Structure 1
Amino acid sequence: MSYESHAVLVALVGVILGFGSADSAHEANSNITTVTCLRGDKVQLYKHSHKFEEVQCRHSVRGNVRATDKECGRESGRIYQIGYPVSRTEWITLISTCYVPAEGRTLYTRHTLYGEEIKYASKAKYRPAWSPSGQYENITASIAYQQVYQKGTLSRILGSSILANNFINNNSFFAKGHLSPHADFILASAQFSTYFYINAAPQWQKINGANWKSIESTVRNLGKFYGTLEIITGTHGILALFDKQNNPHDIYLGQRNTLPVPKYLWKIVLNKATQEAIVFIILNNPFIEAVNDEVFCENICEQVGFDKTSWKDPSSGLVFCCTIAEFQKVVKTAPKLDVSGVLVQQSLLWEPSLLNVV
């Protein structure tokens, strides 16, 4: 990490957390504290020099949710912000979500990935309980995600407890799939602040722990090379499963057609320095066999350096890559982006002759 980037990171930490140290606690009664890098591992706090590891948070910090009046998702959603109230008038946003509260559906989230600093991310093993903050009272996600409830829900929708048992069991169930993931954030407090239901979508566990996890890791590796990236992650469509008569039924985990299970999840990676971007899409159906009709754009994964054999396996989540232009023709609820080109896997930058993307 360069000295300059280190200074930026520590300043951000100070603003969000409000640091206080043992010999300056009497000055640390504000939610806003400035920490300035000096040299090496030394920082300046309240005119005193300290080792960085000596600077401690006086209290643990958890994010909160606030609703805004800003429309999104072709006016079907509203922007909800996950972040930190630092004063009566000041709010710092960590994640913006485009959320449809009456349906319990998150259309997309946006956050910044500080790729050069991600190797310094907290390795805290603690995982907080998921928070319903921001959800309507009629959305009971904490119950809907329980496996026994999922089995009953699918039994009702498909009209068969046998089919429900085939789909929902110890090895197959819907997980709370992070949209803006825990591991994209550096500070433990920021990582813990990703655990809101409005930052999740129902995703098959066998996909969440396989190719979706692989996409998230790929994105962080891009960040390590390119630096700061804007990440937009969302959902599209509703998953349909078939009953015994081979009739399709849309799947909702909540009552009254709430908490829809998305057919696809997607993740846009945007390098704002160059306005280059790519979008990764995953099919949220590990049971599908005929997948050709499910790929709604020209798959450019191999062309831009993301040739992963596992991504071709539907049981782990079929993955394909689109240009932003092709993607936006299909996913109308995604934010409109004006991009200059396609963001490629870093190894292709050294082999430009291999690159063949318009």
Structure 2
Amino acid sequence: MITKFFIITLIIVKDVCSQQCQLSAANMNKSWVFAVATPLNKVELLHRDILQDQEQLYLICKNNDVIRLRCNHGRMSNIPAGARCSRRIKATINPIDNEKCRQNNGQMYDIRYALPIGEGVQSLYQVCYSGNFEAPIYSRHLVYRFNLAASPYQRPQFVTGGVVSQSRADSFETANIFNSFVRLLGYAQNYVKSPRVGDRIMDRGHLVNSQDFLTYDQMDETFKYINVMAQFGSINRSNWKKIENWIHKLPHTGTETFVEVVTGTFGVLELPHSQTQRPTPMFLMANNKNPIPKWSYKVAKYEGKCHAFVTYNNPFGRPNLSESPCVSVPCPLYLNFNNTITEGGASDCCDPYRLAVIVGDQANLCRANTSRKRIRPHS
């Protein structure tokens, strides 16, 4: 009897799965914002790559220009021939009036879409940004589970979004980075060899990882200067990328469909002056603005458990561990850092509770009955 029940269950599961539609890169297109209807008939952004039988996928352009595709017995209807969207909806940066972030007089901003259908406002991620220091303090977003295969993705240009100054955007240009290092460390500094693009060492480092979003339109919206920290390129592509990749895969390890993530910066990097050897705080703008952070961190909460990570944003030396906000703990399975070379940025796994005490309450994701505002999970 048990065997018969098991076989019937397998047949039912197989039949249900065969009716689903697995989205692929061929279904993705930068021209539209992708959304779906929930069981309660609300329209929400698309965060999963599998649609149920008869479920509709909305391709939203602007106003009421919406294409509706349907999953029909395992086959996804195609975008109509000749369909175009010359100017899709862009996410805007909006202050959250009833929530302040305390560090450096920061203001909390919600990066969101205003869709012409459904409930309208749809949050993508949130950033605490200090206008006084021209720098983000921390961000928060949700990482959803999906299996969409990697495909060529054309990165857009970064935009200021009406909140970040053009001066801050300009400070990330290679020539301006070189000039800032010379201004602060003297002409004999050898960290940045020249103002040529080939000698660039600094990235516009994402706080909210573009890889954590399913659709091209959502990925594009992470390319905003409010979501950028001054991060050394060798670190961005080494240990920091390992942290991002590990968190990105975390939803595949359990039953919950999303991970809650806070990313932030801590401290200001100091480098020795080329003549006096005096430790010099590093900024990419005059008047101590747009600091190069000394540390970057991520805290990820999944199925009630928190994981915390810290990276030293300095490819030229090793950290003074007494200054680190991290109290080291064993790293989770499959996360291994390369700390034998300084270029990758010394990284460690941390006690999340101790980290939150040092960097701020925003990192305390696992505290019981937290009053911290959260991005609303989507179905």
Could you report, residue by residue, the CA deviation over 1:101-121 in whole angstroms, capped at 9, with x for unpaired residues? 221111111111112x1x226
Taking structure 1 as reference, are residues 189 and 40 closer, same or farther at Cα in structure 2, changes over 3 Å only? same
Residue pairs, 1:203-222, within 5 angstroms: 203-222=231-250
Residue pairs, 1:243-322, within 5 angstroms: 243=273, 244-271=275-302, 274-289=303-318, 291-302=320-331, 304-305=332-333, 308-311=336-339, 313-322=341-350
For 1:240 and 1:167, locate their aligned partners in 2 and report how far apart those are by CA, in whole Å. Answer: 20
Taking structure 1 as reference, are residues 201 and 309 closer, same or farther at Cα in structure 2, changes over 3 Å only? closer
2:269 aligned with 1:239, yes or no?
A: yes
Aligned partners of 1:11 and 1:35 also within 8 Å: no
For 2:260 and 2:319, locate their aligned partners in 1 and report how far apart those are by CA, in whole Å. Answer: 33
Q: What's the counterpart of residue 54 of structure 2?
A: none
In the TM superposition, residue 256 of structure 1 has moved relative to its aligned partner by: 1.8
Could you report, residue by residue, the CA deviation over 1:192-220 in whole angstroms, capped at 9, with x for unpaired residues? 01100001100001111111111111111
Deviation larger for 67-76 or 315-324: 67-76
Normalised by the size of structure 1, how large is the TM-score? 0.77
For 2:179 and 2:120, locate their aligned partners in 1 and report how far apart those are by CA, in whole Å. Answer: 45
Aligned partners of 1:66 and 1:134 also within 8 Å: no
Deviation larger for 157-166 or 228-237: 157-166
| One-letter code aligned to 1:282 | T
- SS of the equivalent of 2:161 reads coil
Taking structure 1 as reference, are residues 31 and 294 closer, same or farther at Cα in structure 2, changes over 3 Å only? farther
Aligned partners of 1:240 and 1:251 also within 8 Å: yes
Taking structure 1 as reference, are residues 159 and 214 closer, same or farther at Cα in structure 2, changes over 3 Å only? same
In the TM superposition, residue 58 of structure 1 has moved relative to its aligned partner by: 3.7
Q: What's the counterpart of residue 329 of structure 1?
A: 357
Aligned partners of 2:337 and 2:348 also within 8 Å: no
Question: Which of 102, 125, 135 does residue 105 from structure 1 map onto?
Answer: 135
| One-letter code aligned to 1:202 | A
In the TM superposition, residue 336 of structure 1 has moved relative to its aligned partner by: 3.5
| Bigger proportion of residues as strand | 2
In the TM superposition, residue 178 of structure 1 has moved relative to its aligned partner by: 0.6
- SS of the equivalent of 1:156 reads helix
User: Cα RMSD (Å) of the superposition?
Assistant: 3.5
Question: Which of 180, 183, 187 does residue 156 from structure 1 map onto?
Answer: 183
Deviation larger for 313-322 or 166-175: 166-175
Aligned partners of 1:113 and 1:185 also within 8 Å: yes
In the TM superposition, residue 11 of structure 1 has moved relative to its aligned partner by: 3.5
Aligned partners of 1:236 and 1:331 also within 8 Å: yes
Aligned residues: 321
Aligned partners of 2:35 and 2:45 also within 8 Å: no
Q: Which runs of 5+ in 1 are unaligned?
A: 43-50, 341-358
Aligned partners of 2:109 and 2:129 also within 8 Å: yes
Question: Which of 198, 222, 231 does residue 194 from structure 1 map onto?
Answer: 222
Deviation larger for 60-69 or 157-166: 157-166
Aligned partners of 1:78 and 1:99 also within 8 Å: yes
Taking structure 1 as reference, are residues 281 and 52 closer, same or farther at Cα in structure 2, changes over 3 Å only? farther
Aligned partners of 2:69 and 2:78 also within 8 Å: no
For 2:125 and 2:92, locate their aligned partners in 1 and report how far apart those are by CA, in whole Å. Answer: 10
In the TM superposition, residue 41 of structure 1 has moved relative to its aligned partner by: 2.8
Percent of residue pairs identical? 22
Taking structure 1 as reference, are residues 160 and 222 closer, same or farther at Cα in structure 2, changes over 3 Å only? same
For 2:107 and 2:177, locate their aligned partners in 1 and report how far apart those are by CA, in whole Å. Answer: 27
| One-letter code aligned to 2:127 | T
| One-letter code aligned to 2:158 | W
2:37 aligned with 1:11, yes or no?
A: yes
Residue pairs, 1:22-41, within 5 angstroms: 30=64, 37-41=71-75
Q: Which runs of 5+ in 2 are unaligned?
A: 1-15, 24-33, 47-56, 369-379
Could you report, residue by residue, the CA deviation over 1:16-49 in whole angstroms, capped at 9, with x for unpaired residues? 489359xxx9xx952778766553234xxxxxxx
| One-letter code aligned to 2:100 | E
